[in-house]
Each structure stands twice: as C-alpha cells, then as structure tokens.
Amino acid sequence: MRYSEMFLPTVREVPSDAETVSHKLMIRAGMIRKLTSGIYSYLPLGYRVIRKVENIIREEMHNAGAQEVFLPMVQPAELWQESGRWVHYGKELLRFTDRHDREYCLGPTHEEVITDLVRHEVKSYRQLPVTLYQIQTKFRDEIRPRFGVMRCREFGMKDAYSFDATEEGAEINYEKMYAAYNRIFMRLGLKYRAVEADSGSIGGSYSHEFMVIASSGEDALVFCSACDYAANLEKAGAATGAPKPEKTEPVKILPRTEVHTPDIKTIEDVCAFLNVLPVQVVKTVIFNADGSPVVALVRGDEEINPIKLKNYLGCEVLELAKDDMIREVTGAPRGFAGAIGIKARMIEDYSLANMSNFVMGANREDYHLLNVNRGRDFEVSECADLRFVREGDTCIHCGSALKFARGIEVGHVFKLGTKYSQAMKAVYLDANGREQVMIMGCYGIGIGRTVAASIEQNHDDNGIIWPLPIAPYQVAIVPVNSDDARMAQAAEGLYQALSSRGFEVIMDDRNERAGVKFKDADLIGIPYRITIGPKNLAEGKVEIRERGSGAMNVLPLEQVVNFITGAVRKENE
C-alpha cells in the first residue's frame, strides 16, 4: 500500500490515561482510538494485526478439530437464569430490556448460548464429541477499564467449547486444546508460561492460564526455576510450595504461661510487646465457610491463601468471620484467638510443622499464651497447604527454588465438567439408551489483549518491533527523497516486485524528510525496511535494515526479492 493513501494517523502525543507501553504505542502507531471508556476502534493498521492473530488461532483451532460458529452477542435472560448466572455474574454483565420488556444481556462469554445450541441438536453419544469455537465480540462492564485494549469493556475473544460423552474424552479434548494453545502462542512469538490456575470446586489441575511474561502484567505467577511447574499466585489454589525445611533439633517443652497483653492484637504488636519474632507466633484465623466457623492456623510470618482454604473445604462462600462469630467460637473479642478450647473445625498449615513453645492468643480478652505446644495443649486432626507461596520456597515437583514473575493472562483453558450441562440439561443417550449429562470444557483467548501483550514484549524506545507472523506489513520501502525520479522509480520497481510475490509492503511515497519516514517505519514496527538513498543507488544498491536486530545489509537491487523471500521463509520455519 502507498503510504500517501493510507489511513494511518501516527501521533507523538499520547493521552494521559495511557499508562502501559502497549497502550501508548498502539495509540501512537495509529492502531486504535478510544471511543469512550473501555471501548476502542481499530484502525486499518491495528486491524491487520488482529486479523493475523485471528488467522493463526483459526488454523490451530481447525488442526485441533474445532469447527467455527458465530453466536449472537445479545443473549436472553432466561438462559442465564437457567444456569444460575443471572444472579451470580455481578455487574460486569450488561443487562437491558427490549420494547416488549423482555430482559437480555450482552454476552461476556457464551457457555449458556452454546449449551443451549448443543442440547437441542445433540441427542446421541454417536454425535459426540463435538468442539465448536467462534471469534466474536464480548462485553464486560469492567469496573476500571485500563491499559487500552488490555482490559477494556468491548473486546474480541476466541472462545471454544467442547462437549464429550466421557470423562476420558473430555480430558483428551482438554489436552488437545492445551497443545493448540501452546502452538498458537509459540507461533505468535510470545514468551509465555502455561500456569495452573484455580479451578474452584472442579478440583485437580483442570484449568490453565496462558501468561505472557511482562513486568506490566496484572497477575502474579510463580514458576519453578528447574522444572515445568508454574501457577497463578493470586488465584492459585494450585500454587503449592513446601516451606523451606528447617532444623529439627530436639527442643525442651516449656511450661505454658498466660501473659497480659492489653489491646495488643496484631502479629506486629504481639511481637513488639513480647519481644519475639513472627516465626515464634501462631496466627489463628477464623473464617465463615458457608455459615459455619472454620479455624486456620498458620505461622506468624505467613498468610493464609483463602482460595486454597476454600478449595480444601470445598465450600461455596468463604469469608473472614465477623466479630460475633469470633466471639461465639473464642469467647473473646477479635485479636486474641488461639487454638486451645476453640469451638470450631480446625486446620493447620504445614508451616506449623516444626514449631514448639510458640505464642498464641488465649481466647481471652487482652491475653496471650507463651510456650504453647501441639500435642500437650491442643490437637489438630487436619493439616493442609493453606498459605501463600513465597519466592524461594521449594517446588513440590522437583525441590528446586520457586521464582516469581508478572504476567498478562492472554488465554484460559478450563475443564467445566457438568456445571452448565447439568443446570441446563444438556443430555444425550448412551449406548445403552440411558440419559447422561454431557461433559464440557471451555477455552478462551483475548485477541486484543494478545496483541497488546506482544507489544509489551516487543518494543524499544523508537516503537513496536512486530514478530513477522503478526506484523501488519512485512516490508517498508523508503526512498529518502520521493522527488528524485531515479529513487522513485527504483522504489516503485521493488514495490511491484515484492507485492506481486505476495509480500505485504508499505511504500513510503510521502513528500516527507527521510528522518520522518524512518521514524514512522520504526514506530509502526515493520520488520524489514528497505532504504533507497542516492549513494547506494548510484551503485545499483539498496540498504535493508532489520527492525528487531538492527542488522543492515547493502544489496544489489536485483537481489532484494531473494533476500526478503529467504528472510520470511526462515522466520516462518
């Protein structure tokens, strides 16, 4: 395409709400423009990148046996009432009413619609398995849209759904999608990790998030420095790490004493007042699990991860207990809870393993206990991994040190089981004519977020550095002076030669200074820039510069097509 004819408004200034590199560069490179909060238009350059990403996803979905559909964005409330999500989804679900007072929502995801479609069409085990996907606009009324298209309200998503007759089948489909996702993110040239994510009540490791590693990422992830293990830290029901092994010298059990600790309630206050370290204190945290009190014990320097506890208990709702519940089980106000004599189910975290003679609340207002010991003073029958993992903990799979990183969640694969098919009665007849519930999986990729994540990983001070597979154009031809007839002619010749061979080329025919043209080519991140300047051209040569490495080659005009062909082929291998 000739630059002079392109709708490509590059700008120097960025709006003040652009915090991340990708947001700034997508605006500056003329890829996107904001319409209103969290709602963006893609301009031609941006949309070309979106299309490339979508096409790679399409190819891999096809290879994985998924068939493309296109489902409505407007969804009737009745389906969401059937699944129970009309009540549970919260304010991200944008609801509205039509002229007949019927209620609808804009789809933030499509489990209900796809389940409705499949339950009407699939009746027999012979029609299963089936995997369907679409690439379509979602709407989520995010409370704080930010980072441009990374966390916006209207966004494109590839969402796939699998339906299986058997557990084994569902697992095979999950593995297939997991493998397809690896191929997709590899082809997109991203540095990423597949991390175990919280799969809530479904359990096991049947949910993985695909995280692009980036310091600007909103998610914290933990990964092993040696093996493949990686997990989402915040949602990490799965993130497990044993505390560092400690010396277990035999210790003398000391007599327990009660000390007056007036108004001393937090771990910090207790440590300061009693002159002890947090590792010598046991924290007693009381939770309300579906209405019943549950007590979790953890070493004073550790924190309970409520998601781990929730998954361990298998409860629906878990929250910190309110004052009245605390008083009910401890007989004391908040701040003085301890294990001795407490009236509730109790679970200890592994961090208590080597502790003895520790400090603990006395279940009595303004009192703590010194030299408390398990066995002698109280018993706990349940022991589990409940705390937040820490950097340097040992990996449960291989024993190496765990590390932390920040990541951007670009994709998510999830084994749903029968959550929706049960609620919405998606059933089939098995070989014996018995009715069975279908087993589902769902698999999403955020298209715009993936593009933004790619920019987070591929840029420098001058702009974007597109990986070839998703570059909006592969080559930019820059005659340093478009008024010069010989330069213009050489540029035109190359433009025709490359375009006719299927390469995507921008020909910068603008009447701009060379510096302006170079800056724009760098900003929009075109992988190969061919510069046509007077000195080289006098010898029948041009310069080819690689955007990423900065590598330069001066070549005779007639070798340019071969060079680009070879470079693109190499990149695609």
- Chain residues binding ligand ATP by CB under 6 A are 109, 140, 142, 151-152, 155, 157, 409-412, 444-446, 448-449
Torsion sign across C-alpha atoms 410, 60, 231, 162: positive
Give the residue from 513, 510, 552, 509 showing the smallest Cα distance to 529. Answer: 552
Buried b or exposed e, range 92-106, using 16+ CB within 10 angstroms:
ebeeeeeeeeeebbb
Minimum separation from the CB atom of position 409 to ligand ATP (A): 5
Residue 484 contacts which entry, Mg ion, ligand ATP, none (Cβ below 5-8 A, type-dependent) = none
Give the residue from 451, 497, 490 showing the smallest Cα distance to 472. Answer: 451
Name the residue with the smallest CB distance to Mg ion.
412
What x-and-dash track marks residues 389-418 binding Mg ion by CB under 5 A?
-----------------------x------
For residues 117 and 32, what is the distance between their CA atoms, to the nearest angstrom? 34
Nearer to ligand ATP, 125 or 420 (CB): 420
Minimum separation from the CB atom of position 49 to ligand ATP (A): 15
Residue 118 contacts which entry, Mg ion, ligand ATP, none (Cβ below 5-8 A, type-dependent) = none
Nearer to ligand ATP, 411 or 417 (CB): 411
Residue 152 contacts which entry, ligand ATP, Mg ion, none (Cβ below 5-8 A, type-dependent) = ligand ATP
Nearer to Mg ion, 236 or 296 (CB): 236
Is there a cis peptide before residue 250, judged by omega within 30 degrees of 0?
no
Give the residue from 186, 171, 54, 236 showing the smallest Cα distance to 417. Answer: 171
| Amino acid, single-letter form, for residue 314 | G
Nearer to Mg ion, 48 or 193 (CB): 193
Residue 302 contacts which entry, ligand ATP, Mg ion, none (Cβ below 5-8 A, type-dependent) = none
Minimum separation from the CB atom of position 235 to ligand ATP (A): 8
Name the residue with the smallest CB distance to ligand ATP.
446
If one asks whether residue 449 binds Mg ion (CB under 5 A), the answer comes out as: no
Minimum separation from the CB atom of position 480 to Mg ion (A): 48
Nearer to ligand ATP, 293 or 446 (CB): 446
Nearer to ligand ATP, 51 or 510 (CB): 51
Buried b or exposed e, range 289-303, using 16+ CB within 10 angstroms:
beeebbbbbbbbbbe
Minimum separation from the CB atom of position 163 to Mg ion (A): 21
Structure letter (DSSP) for residue 304: B
Minimum separation from the CB atom of position 155 to ligand ATP (A): 4
Torsion sign across C-alpha atoms 82, 84, 86, 92: negative
Give me the count of residues in the chain: 573
> Is 122 in a helix, a strand, or coil?
coil
Nearer to ligand ATP, 368 or 449 (CB): 449
Sheet containing 95-97: order of strands: 74-76, 103-106, 95-97
Kindly report the number of other CB atoms within 10 A of residue 148's CB atom.
28
Minimum separation from the CB atom of position 187 to Mg ion (A): 21
Tokens of 163: 């339906």
The residues binding Mg ion (CB under 5 A) are 412
